[in-house]
Amino acid sequence: MSEHRVHMQDHEIFTEEHQQFRKTVRKFAESLAPHAEEWDEAGIFPKEVFKQAGDLGLLGIRSSPEYGGMGLDWWFTTCYAEELVASRNAGVNMALMVQSDMATPIISEIGSDEVKRNFLAPAIKGEMIAALGVSEPGGGSDVASIRTTARLDGDDYVINGQKLWITNGTRADFITLAVRTGADGYGGISLLVFPTDVKGFHIGKKLKKIGNKASDTAELFFEDCRVPARYRLGGENEGFYHIMTNFQGERLVAAVGCVRGMEVAVREAIQYGTDRHAFGKPLAKFQVWKHKLVEHLTAIEAARRLTYYAVDKFNKDPMTATREITMAKLFAGDLAQKVIYDCMQLHGGFGYTTEYPISRAWTDVRLITIGGGTSEIMKEILTKIEGL
């Protein structure tokens, strides 16, 4: 891969290598699109999709080649997040990204060689399915309130507690699990790799959601589950920092995908409005819609530039990008609610049917202001950064 990259101010961020990678991701995503409605109705999609993504290298873009990864940077992940939108199924995309960008990066960064070979490498190949276990009934964005405990007993941790809102939860082979190993607060949290074939682990119920339906979301229970202490990731009681860093990546891919999704929705609304006539002319020729659509395209371009700026900072130094990533997720997420609403409105009655993709986009996009930290949490983070 070439090391050359044109400066961002020249508006030519992506190299030929990036564009070739885009084509690979887009071809894969487009092959999934015909099944979008079917998989939403089923509430799950075939496991083979993980293997297909793994065969293309999409589940370990930034991971070390030693464990099957591609060893690339965040600009390739940006291409991945943007082109996956072509799958027409946010649930599938979320499940794949939990595997590639939420559950495994921590293992890649601080896992032992044994853990990487036993869990990371098979996950990158798509042979094992991964989940991230942080959220609980009593707290999602408030990571410091985690109550699931892990008590050291000889060479094992004994785990008790409950997790909620866990994507891939009904069929994960392992979970990157946040547990309390010390005192209350952020200083007592550790991370473990938890194989789901352990005695005492069981799945509660698969949660029914209004959107992202093809991704399975579950509540999980742990009753005296024993996991080898050597499966711990990093030092004991040092997990909070790694969870917070991991959140930045999760929020960044969410913003990237959200921006691309908005653009696709507006372009398709323009096409629909051009083809659909009312009162003797195309809908898209009415001033109210012309103005609304170009306003949205302008705002989307602003969101893209903010998001790319956040990618650039995070790519260079993850420690410097929290402010920009938080802004990008907040701005893109809130903007998407308005953009998708208007695109659906332009479709009229057809927009309220499942015949057009805009109806699925409308239910799916609602999650962007909730998952990975609500918009309200994003604002709280920013007020602290700005000293307010």
pLDDT in tens, 114-151: 999 999 999 999 999 999 999 999 876 778 889 999 99
- Rounded Cα distance between 164 and 205, Å, is 10
Angle of helix 322-346 versus helix 375-385 axis, rounded to 10:
150
Q: How far is CA 23 from the centre of its chain?
A: 21
- pLDDT tens for residues 278-322? 999 999 999 999 999 999 999 999 999 999 999 999 999 999 999
- Count of Cβ atoms closer than 10 Å to residue 137 Cβ: 12
Residue-wise pLDDT for 80-120, tens only, equals: 999 999 999 999 999 999 999 999 999 999 999 999 999 99
Q: How confident is the model at residue 5 (pLDDT cuts 50, 70, 90)?
A: very low
In the predicted model, what is the mean pLDDT of residues 175-184? Answer: 96
| 3-state secondary structure string across 183-251 | CCCHHHEEEEEEECCCCCEEEEEECCCCCCCCCCEEEEEEEEEEEEHHHEECCCCCHHHHHHHHHHHHH
Per-residue confidence (pLDDT) for residue 140, from 0 to 100: 67
- Percentage, residues of the chain above pLDDT 90: 94
Q: What is the mean pLDDT of residues 215-240?
A: 97
Predicted pLDDT at 6: 35
The predicted-structure confidence for 358-379, as pLDDT tens digits, reads as follows 999 999 999 999 999 999 999 9
pLDDT at 355: 86
Residues 6+ apart with CB under 8 A from 278: 286
Strand partners, 227: 157
| Structure tokens, 347 | 């479709």
What is the reported pLDDT for 7? 36
- Rounded distance between C-alpha atoms, residue 305 and residue 249, angstroms: 17
DSSP H or E segment with residue 94: helix 90-97
Q: Which residues are catalytic, by number? A: 250
Cross-strand partners of 220: 163, 203
Structural domains present in the chain:
8-129 (1.10.540.10), 131-237 (2.40.110.10), 240-385 (1.20.140.10)
**Averaged pLDDT score across all residues of the chain:** 94
Average pLDDT over residues 246-274: 97
CA–centroid distance for 327 within its chain: 17
Mean pLDDT for 69-75 is 97
Q: In whole angstroms, what is the distance from residue 136 CA to residue 141 CA?
A: 10
Q: What is the DSSP string of 284-337?
A: GGSHHHHHHHHHHHHHHHHHHHHHHHHHHHHHH-GGG-HHHHHHHHHHHHHHHH
Distance CA 296, CA 304 (A): 12
- End-to-end C-alpha distance for the chain, whole angstroms: 44
Contact 242, 191 (CB under 8 A): yes
Q: What is the pLDDT of residues 150-173, one digit of tens each?
A: 999 999 999 999 999 999 999 999
The phi-psi region of residue 200 (left if phi > 0; otherwise alpha if psi is between -120 and 50; otherwise beta) is: left
Q: Looking at residues 201-207, what average pLDDT do you find?
A: 96
- Mean pLDDT for 192-214 is 97
Looking at residue 82, its pLDDT comes to: 97
Give the pLDDT of residue 144. Answer: 83
Buried (b) or exposed (e) across 91-128, using 16+ Cβ within 10 A?
bbbbbbbbbbbbbbbbbbebbeeebbebbbbbbbbbeb
pLDDT at 1 over 60: no
Residue 2 has pLDDT above 80, yes or no: no
